[in-house]
Amino acid sequence: MAFNPDTQDSAHTGACMDTPGSRAGMNRVLERKELTPDTFELRLENPDIAKFCHPGQFVIVRGDEVSERIPLTIADFDRDAGTITLVIQKVGDATIRLGALKNGDQIRDIAGPLGHHTEIANFGTVVVIGGGLGIAPAYPIQREMKAAGNRLISIIGARTNNLLFWEEKMRSCSDDLFITTDDGSTREKGFVTTILKRLIDFRVKIDRVIAIGPPIMMKAVADTTRNTGIKTVVSLNPIMVDGTGMCGGCRINVGGKTKFACVDGPEFDAHETDFDLLISRLATYSEVEARAKEQHDRQPGK
């Protein structure tokens, strides 16, 4: 059953919906796009989730009968069309299987919307930072923040030019857009924090920073704003299994207390987050993911 904001606390969407192909067309791939060499976009038919989801929330996806369950942030949604958009990076076996889907194919299960949604209000000037894959979930947050009357400064970055995507979507709801690459292959050479620090040093009035991306990037953003008094929010991506707070796999440390990213987050105060613990736990299955990708790449025709 999908979350109903009329009957439950709209600040938290803890209920989920699981639709294993029980309704014609549900979870069907309407459009697939390649964004970068290892990243792709799926626009999916799912009117129930599209109706109730909000920026910042996520879904749990199981591509087929033998795939693991993986959390994916909702990168976009269209309530009128009844669609949600997911942006996925090929990392392990499950994401590689999803990457093989074509238009018209159907995903086995999608549960959601899950997690708390982003706090949207007119804060003043909001800086939204998307690093790498984090550009995708940053977009709907930025769009809603702009609609709420904020001045929007967006900063997007990646290791190199061919890993950047959605520049025009981000520009469409930004007052100012800055783009960086680690290697200087496009725009400014540097990190997203290079731009953020410059804004702070130039005394640009910033009322809130929202950062989504690799944990090391979010940690750097937190360090950049730590002594400025700027409220800084990050969206965390720990290992997750069920997405409903039962397995404990997504536990993190925030403010010296154990939290579960799936039901307490996924957004948290950046200055209270233990990023070192998060980074350590995320590395648990890195070797398994690398082997799965290596086996996939060795297959004929890859």
One-letter-per-residue 3-state SS of 190-205 = CCHHHHHHHHHHCCCC
Q: At what angle do helices 192-201 and 215-225 cross, to 10 degrees?
A: 10
Q: Which of 107, 76, 49, 56 is nearest to 172 (CA)?
A: 76
Write down the architecture of domain 125-284 according to CATH.
3-Layer(aba) Sandwich (3.40)
Cis bond before residue 113 (omega within 30° of 0): yes
Asked if residue 171 lies in contact with residue 165, where contact means CB atoms within 8 angstroms, the answer is no
Distance of CA 259 to the CA centre of its chain: 19
- Return the pLDDT at 274: 93
Low-confidence ranges of the chain (pLDDT < 70): 1-25, 284-302
**Per-chain mean pLDDT for the chain:** 87
Asked if residue 112 lies in contact with residue 16, where contact means CB atoms within 8 angstroms, the answer is yes
- Return the pLDDT at 290: 63
**E strand intervals along the chain:** 28-36, 39-45, 58-62, 70-78, 83-89, 109-114, 125-131, 151-158, 176-181, 188-189, 208-212, 231-235, 251-254, 257-260, 267-269
Q: Which of 233, 198, 185, 237 is nearest to 215 (CA)?
A: 237
- Return the pLDDT at 172: 95
**E strand intervals along 230-292:** 231-235, 251-254, 257-260, 267-269
Radius of gyration (C-alpha) of the chain in whole angstroms = 19
For CATH 2.40.30.10, the residue range(s) in the chain are 28-114
Distance of CA 255 to the CA centre of its chain: 22
- Return the pLDDT at 297: 66
Per DSSP, the three-state class of 3 is: coil
CA distance 37 to 302: 12
- Return the pLDDT at 296: 61
Cis bond before residue 238 (omega within 30° of 0): no
Asked if residue 157 lies in contact with residue 179, where contact means CB atoms within 8 angstroms, the answer is yes
For CATH 3.40.50.80, the residue range(s) in the chain are 125-284
Q: Which residue has the tokens 């957004």?
A: 267
Burial (Cβ within 10 Å: 0-12, 13-18, ≥19) of residue 142: buried
* pLDDT tens by residue, 234-291: 999 888 888 888 888 888 899 999 999 999 999 999 999 999 998 888 776 666 666 6
- Return the pLDDT at 243: 83
- Return the pLDDT at 288: 63
Per CATH, domain 28-114 is 3.30.1600.10: no
